[in-house]
Amino acid sequence: MGTKFHWHNTISVIGSGYVGVTTAAIAANTGYKVYLIDINQERIDVLKTGKSFFYEEGIDALIKNALDSKQLIPTTSYDGITKSSIVFSCVGTPDNSDGSPNLDYVFSAAKAASNKMKKDAVYVQKSTVPVGTGKIVASMLPGQVAYISNPEFLREGTAVFDTLNSDRIVIGGADKEAQNKVKSLYETIEHGSANITKLTGITAQPHANGSYFLTNLESAELIKVTANAFLALKISFANSIAKLADKTGADITEVMDAVGADARINRSFLNAGRGYGGGCFPKDVSGLISSAAEHGVDLSIMTAANEVNESMPGYIVHKAKRSLTSFEKKKIAVLGLAFKAGTSDTRRSPGIKIANLLANAGAYVVAYDPHANKEAVHELKTTISIVETIVDATKNVDAVFIATEWPEFKQQDFHELSRIMKGNLVVDAVNILNPSDILKAGLQYIGIGRG
């Protein structure tokens, strides 16, 4: 593209995680010159070769194109900030042992940026932080720099699509001019989305980013964690009802299809299964609990959601045990190690928990994921074998657990599976299979909340 240098279309993004890379790659292909800054040299080196360290549809094509056109500059130096009109903070907030988020990177990024920021530049927080953090970070920045909270709602696996088709864009802060500056960046991205589509095939709906919420700082911070906590609540609610369905003969899928048809409730995030994982929900739920506790507010509703979630991997393993009598010396395949389909991310992955629970119970576990084998290695017990195909995983096994909803697990030939397995148990920990297909293939089916 070769856009001419001008500080209004030069930005910096600090942190090359899922959010930072997606933000930088999209902005760099819609007219911005982007310094993508990370202290991790290894990540920057990988980015310089035209790819990301994680699997995400469309992202590598965007990185490569932006590098070729010199619009994206991955670097460990903070110097690009001196030329930037907007600086995005997208650093990680790992959790402390008490469940509160560790904000060290949030503060160190702000400190590093504060020495370099241009007068009238805007500092935009995309990292998920507890409500009240922005005020502290803002006080670390020079007086003329405005502070904005612009929480990110993208889902891993559909990060590019979500960025082009946001349900809403929240821009919180006290400075109207700064809020409008950030808004106009999103409008520019929206206008430039045809280029993203050309490179990735991922399309944007017209006026997809139509709804902007310009709020105060604290509201913006609270919107993000509230949205994630509510979605987590929906999942744990569905899982609690699924346990009741298991006891009574109701089918949770039928129940939620009808319940979710009520527009006030909505069907999404009511899929029962082995519970939620990933880098956001577990952390945001515990972060909200600790933030409420700090302010003396009772959020036991979220403590309960968390407990239900923690119980789910053990619940499905226990259900399977009743069929197999014991796991001792049984050979079991676990399909799906990413925390969900479409990503290589294994953080807090329920599939990994299930594999480790089975191994602890004496089973010989063979695990497979189409994109997350490498990431899973260090989290799986050393006795677990990792293989490269579904067939290698399922050959001669007594049972198969499906722990992530990758399409290839749903689309496999179940007659063939039945032929190569030693036993006949299929445990659908994500409720993606049609039980009658499994039964027709001569296999036994166990789901969650499906009788």
Residues near ligand UDX (CB under 6 A): 152-156, 228, 231, 235, 269-271, 273, 275-278, 280-281, 339-340
Residues in the chain: 451
Nearer of residues 235 and 292 to ligand UDX, judged by Cβ: 235
| Distance between CA atoms of residues 27 and 10, nearest Å | 10
Closest distance to ligand UDX from the beta carbon of 305 (Å)? 12
Closest distance to ligand UDX from the beta carbon of 2 (Å)? 32
DSSP state of 101: B
Asked about 90 being catalytic, the answer comes back as no
| Distance between CA atoms of residues 59 and 309, nearest Å | 31
Closest distance to ligand UDX from the beta carbon of 360 (Å)? 22
Closest distance to ligand UDX from the beta carbon of 339 (Å)? 5
Q: Identify the bridge partners of residue 425 per DSSP, sorted by sequence position.
A: 399, 444
Characterise 277 by phi-psi region: left (phi > 0), alpha (psi -120 to 50), beta (else).
beta
| Distance between CA atoms of residues 89 and 94, nearest Å | 15
Closest distance to ligand UDX from the beta carbon of 344 (Å)? 12
Closest distance to ligand UDX from the beta carbon of 364 (Å)? 26
Closest CA relative to residue 288, chosen from 304, 311, 271 = 304
Closest distance to ligand UDX from the beta carbon of 281 (Å)? 5
| Distance between CA atoms of residues 292 and 304, nearest Å | 14
3-state secondary structure of 115: coil
Strand order in the sheet with 146-149: 72-75, 33-37, 10-14, 86-89, 122-125, 146-149, 169-172, 212-215
Nearer of residues 64 and 410 to ligand UDX, judged by Cβ: 410
Nearer of residues 195 and 226 to ligand UDX, judged by Cβ: 226
3-state secondary structure of 445: strand
219: exposed, middle or buried (Cβ count in 10 Å: 0-12, 13-18, 19+): middle
| Distance between CA atoms of residues 295 and 310, nearest Å | 25
Phi, psi of 144, rounded to the nearest 5 degrees: -85, 0
3-state secondary structure of 95: strand
3-state secondary structure of 369: coil
Residue of 110, 204, 280, 443 marked active site: 280
Nearer of residues 235 and 393 to ligand UDX, judged by Cβ: 235
Closest CA relative to residue 155, chosen from 340, 432, 348 = 340
At position 150, the amino acid (one-letter code) is: N
| Distance between CA atoms of residues 25 and 55, nearest Å | 14
Nearer of residues 117 and 316 to ligand UDX, judged by Cβ: 316
Nearer of residues 80 and 282 to ligand UDX, judged by Cβ: 282
| Distance between CA atoms of residues 55 and 445, nearest Å | 31
Closest distance to ligand UDX from the beta carbon of 4 (Å)? 34
Contact 33, 67 (CB under 8 A): no
Phi, psi of 446, rounded to the nearest 5 degrees: -130, 125
Query: What amino acid positions are annotated as catalytic residues?
Result: 280
